[in-house]
Amino acid sequence: MTPKRTAMSSVDRSWLRMDTTENPMVISTVLVFEQPIPLKRLKRTLEERFLKFRRFRQRVIDKGDSVFWEDDPLFDLDNHLHSIALPGNGDKGELQALASDLNSTALDYRRPLWQIHYIDNYKGGCALLIRIHHCIADGISLVRVMLSLTDRTAEPRLERVTHPATSAKRQRTRTGRFLHRMVDSTQAAWEQAGLFVDSIRKEPDYPVKLATTAAGIVIDLAKLGLAPFEPKTSLKSTLVGRKRVAWAEPIELEAVKQCARALGGTVNDVLLCAATGALSRHFTEHDQAIPDCGIRVAVPFNLRPLDQPIETLGNQFGLVLVCLPVEVTDPVMCFHQVQENMNRLKRSYQAQVTYSLLDLFGRGPDILERRALALLSNKASAVLTNVPGPRHAVYLAGSKLVQPMFWVPQSGNIGIGMSIFSYAGTVQFGITVDKGIQAEPAAVMDYFHDSFWQLYRAAMAQADVNALRHAS
């Protein structure tokens, strides 16, 4: 019997095509747990909750002009779940070295494009290193998939594992109930436009707003195409394909919120400012000239409704280019510049424009996407992702999740990926750097910490001054 095939969406196909030897399009996650997880229980949890998403049982069939998802007739969980142990003391350095090794390798295209490594002997507990190809889904949906594996308590009730045929039947039933939702990448873009049109149609000056919107989209498209290339710095070097990863110790989220309130901004503004300070410190420590016009980072912008159930995976996000003012040394001034840059982008249509471009590239010839990718990747020095996680601690197969980290892939000639993730009252910051780039990941993590606390102290001092003024 021929396995069932479904056509890959054009946007997902774009991410598949971006794969290169230097930059595999793989989203990587490291989850650290307080206690070892029994492998039998982990497998049962994956079978019940992870594999209910049909995409994780499907492989990619590339016919050149057409790309399909096909049920893997030889699917076996053991081909994707591997058990290993760290050598020696199993410390943070050993885990980061292993993550670097695995993130430097491509996935096996003969099978569904994901892998999980169970890592024993880490600080008395264990870790999971999960790698999933970007063509399967975007970061927001994959985080929600990962969280669907967890529970609020250590001892949940696991449901009986059903036969794959029964699971497929249930999946078809669920799909039927959600046919009105987005199931194609182009529909996502139209839905975003439709929501906007519906909201402004009720206004008395609707025709003017509609014309202004169309003009804004055209202008943002022109700005994206005409934006100058990034300045030549050590962050834009020839890539070699060897990845190095690191993560910082968590920062209390309440401290970040206090800083944001004192400066009249958002948590995201604070964290982007801390990242800006870390990169600025990198230039200073290496006696390199700091670009006087800042540097740009590509930031994913979610276009998927957050209250939409994850019934289908896929990619539903655009990219915006954010300018980080690394030349501004005063932390408060840097914060307000970052805030202004972000507010300007929030009023733009850049995310919708880049989403539509990905859709267009996925429908056209491969050479068109390669050239467009090379052009756009010259306009950013790094990729930076900020994803909100659960506010409370969660458990996987009975073990408490202590620290989650993740890294997004970089495309074209971009060799740095930075990620920010909030979890259980903390903020996690991680980085992946191509070995061809002269930047030490662990040092940049230290710079991020220093940059945040420098901003925090300045914000608290400013808050004290403002309080004294009001009191007088």
Whole-prediction pTM: 0.79
- Per-residue pLDDT, 399: 94
Q: Model confidence over 351-403: pLDDT tens digits?
A: 455 545 555 555 555 555 555 555 566 778 998 888 888 899 999 999 999 99
Tell me if 26 sits within 8 A of 410, measured CB to CB.
no
Of the candidate ranges 39-43, 138-142, 215-219, 460-464, the one whose mean pLDDT is the lowest: 215-219
Q: At 461, is the pLDDT very low, low, confident or very high (cuts 50, 70, 90)?
A: very high
One fold for both 5-177 and 185-471? yes
Give residue limits of the domains in the chain.
5-177, 185-471
Q: Model confidence over 293-309: pLDDT tens digits?
A: 889 888 776 555 555 55
- Per-residue pLDDT, 70: 95
The reply to whether CATH 3.30.1300.10 applies to domain 185-471 is: no
- Per-residue pLDDT, 359: 52
- Per-residue pLDDT, 181: 33
Q: Model confidence over 207-223: pLDDT tens digits?
A: 433 344 344 434 444 44
The reply to whether CATH 3.30.70.20 applies to domain 5-177 is: no
Give the range with max mean pLDDT: 100-114, 211-225, 402-416, 458-472: 100-114
Which of 7, 3, 11, 1 is closest to 364 using CA atoms? 11
Q: At 343, is the pLDDT very low, low, confident or very high (cuts 50, 70, 90)?
A: confident
